[in-house]
């Protein structure tokens, strides 16, 4: 199995975040990607591959021009204005009608316009890391286009909370939407002339950014299984009442176990089968684990293997797995390996 990684992720290493009404160490740390890579390095069925570079035009197909310019220039503007050099953390947020006009010219105003929370920070190396995280997703997608049946891209920072023109939830560029659009543009059409791409998001948190972006795209369907936003981040979106022909949400209650989750997972896969995907992008978050401090599900490590095997059996099409969330360092690599094991054991191209 192809596993794509980038050393550039370490450039994004914010010192802290403001979460649950207090300041603590940044939860989305470089250690996350490093321990996953370490767990995979010596596996006999893993082909470790370094990230390739791509034209940034792919990014502009899913994100707004002004937003991408902001990501590239934000830190330098912030520091030039004499603001806190450790990083950018918004002090206010553009709500409701305030987003109907362009952002103010001040760095503080731009931060509040383009960032949705105070647990997401931009530091000096953020753009470089974000850019290569997107390239990591695109490299994995390229392997599918070249005939591989599966690939795993260790994307860091993650991406599924990044919307068309905003960052949040540790995310800046939406890797899943980026890869899906690339596969659609470059892939071989089905008999009806369309390349349909499914995105299956199984992170604990709703992929609000992905949902936002797919509304602007054709023949890409997002199916998301996540914690009920009445109780979990991102709180204001991810409800089943938002379901359209472009996104299907399964919002689940706190404390859900393996058996109940798997029943919902089967429904999600049936939805993707009915859609008729040519390719499947999987936003893998293992913050659904019973041990994760950010989620409130009660899934055991064993269920991840079962979910992956079910996908292989029920959806025999090329699959790109992208790393999203999962924050308990003691269990992160083990849970990721549990999900990847059926793909590794398949020993297909």
What's the mean per-residue pLDDT of the chain?
96
Counting the structural domains of the chain, the total is 1
- 57 falls within a domain: no
* CA dist., res. 320 & res. 274, Å (int): 19
91 lies in some domain: no
Bridge partners of 220? 197
User: What's the pTM value of the predicted model, to 2 decimals?
Assistant: 0.97
pLDDT tens digits along 42-64: 899 999 999 999 999 999 999 99
Three-state SS for 67?
A: helix
Q: Give the tens place of pLDDT for each residue, 7-30.
A: 999 999 999 988 877 898 999 999
304: CATH: 3.40.800.20
φ, ψ of residue 17 to 5 degrees: the values are -145, 160
Residue 195 lies in a domain: yes
Question: Is 100 inside any structural domain?
Answer: no
Q: Cβ contacts of residue 121 below 8 Å, gap of 6+?
A: 14, 15, 16, 17, 26, 87, 88, 89
Q: Is residue 110 part of a domain?
A: no
C-alpha 20 chain-centroid distance: 22
Identify whether 161 is a catalytic site residue. Answer: yes
| Paired residues of 171 in beta bridges | 168
DSSP state of 257: -
pLDDT reported for residue 112: 96
**What percent of the chain clears pLDDT 90, i.e. is strictly above it?**
90
Structure confidence by residue, pLDDT tens digits, 171-196? 999 999 999 999 999 997 765 678 99
Select from 50, 114, 42, 45 the least CA-distant residue to 78.
114
pLDDT digits (tens, 9 = 90+) for 125-159: 999 999 999 999 999 999 999 999 999 999 999 99
Catalytic choice (5, 161, 205, 291): 161
179 CB contacts (<8 Å, ≥6 apart)?
137, 138, 140, 141, 153, 281, 320, 322
Residue ranges making up the domain that contains 224:
2-12+28-50+128-346
What mean pLDDT do residues 67-95 have?
95
Residue 290 lies in a domain: yes
For the segment 287-325, what is each residue's pLDDT rounded down to a tens digit?
Answer: 999 999 999 999 999 999 999 999 999 999 999 999 999
Q: What is the DSSP string of 304-329?
A: HHHHHHHHHHH--S-EEEEE-----H
pLDDT at 292: 96
Question: Measured between alpha carbons, how far is 120 from 126 in angstroms, rounded to an integer?
Answer: 11
Above pLDDT 70, what percent of the chain?
Answer: 98
Cβ atoms within 10 A of the Cβ of 43, count?
15
Report how far residue 19's alpha carbon sits from residue 184's, in angstroms, rounded to the nearest whole number. 37
Q: Say if 87 falls within a structural domain.
A: no
Determine the pLDDT at residue 190.
64
Instruction: Decide if 76 is inside a domain.
Output: no
């Amino acid at each position: 199995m192809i596993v794509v990684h980038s050393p550039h992720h370490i450039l994004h290493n914010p010192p802290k975040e403001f979460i649950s009404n207090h300041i603590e160490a940044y939860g989305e740390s470089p250690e996350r990607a490093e321990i996953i890579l370490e767990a995979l390095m010596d596996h006999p069925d893993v082909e470790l591959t370094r990230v390739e570079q791509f034209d940034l035009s792919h990014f502009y197909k899913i994100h707004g021009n002004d937003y991408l310019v902001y990501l590239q220039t934000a830190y330098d503007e912030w520091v030039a204005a004499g603001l806190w050099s450790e990083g950018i953390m918004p002090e206010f947020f553009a709500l409701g009608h305030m987003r109907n006009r362009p952002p103010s010219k001040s760095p503080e105003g731009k931060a509040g316009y383009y960032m949705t929370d105070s647990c997401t920070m931009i530091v000096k190396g953020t753009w470089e890391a974000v850019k290569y995280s997107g390239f990591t997703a695109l490299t994995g997608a390229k392997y599918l286009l070249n005939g591989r049946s599966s690939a795993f891209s260790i994307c860091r920072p993650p991406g599924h909370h990044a919307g068309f023109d905003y960052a949040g939830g540790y995310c800046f560029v939406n890797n899943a939407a980026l890869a899906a659009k690339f596969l659609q543009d470059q892939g071989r059409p089905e008999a009806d002339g369309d390349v349909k791409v499914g995105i299956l998001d199984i992170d604990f948190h709703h992929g609000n950014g992905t949902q936002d972006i797919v509304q602007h795209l054709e023949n890409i369907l997002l199916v998301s299984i996540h914690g009920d936003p009445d109780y979990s981040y991102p709180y204001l979106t991810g409800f089943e009442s938002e379901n359209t022909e472009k996104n299907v949400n399964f919002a689940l209650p706190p404390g859900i176990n393996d058996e109940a989750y798997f029943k919902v997972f089967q429904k999600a896969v049936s939805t993707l089968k009915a859609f008729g995907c040519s390719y499947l992008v999987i936003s893998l978050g293992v913050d659904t684990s019973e041990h994760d401090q950010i989620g409130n599900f009660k899934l055991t490590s064993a269920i991840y293997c079962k979910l992956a095997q079910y996908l292989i059996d029920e959806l025999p099409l090329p699959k790109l797995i992208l790393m999203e969330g999962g924050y308990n360092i003691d269990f992160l690599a083990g849970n990721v390996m549990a999900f990847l094991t059926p793909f590794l054991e398949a020993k297909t191209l």
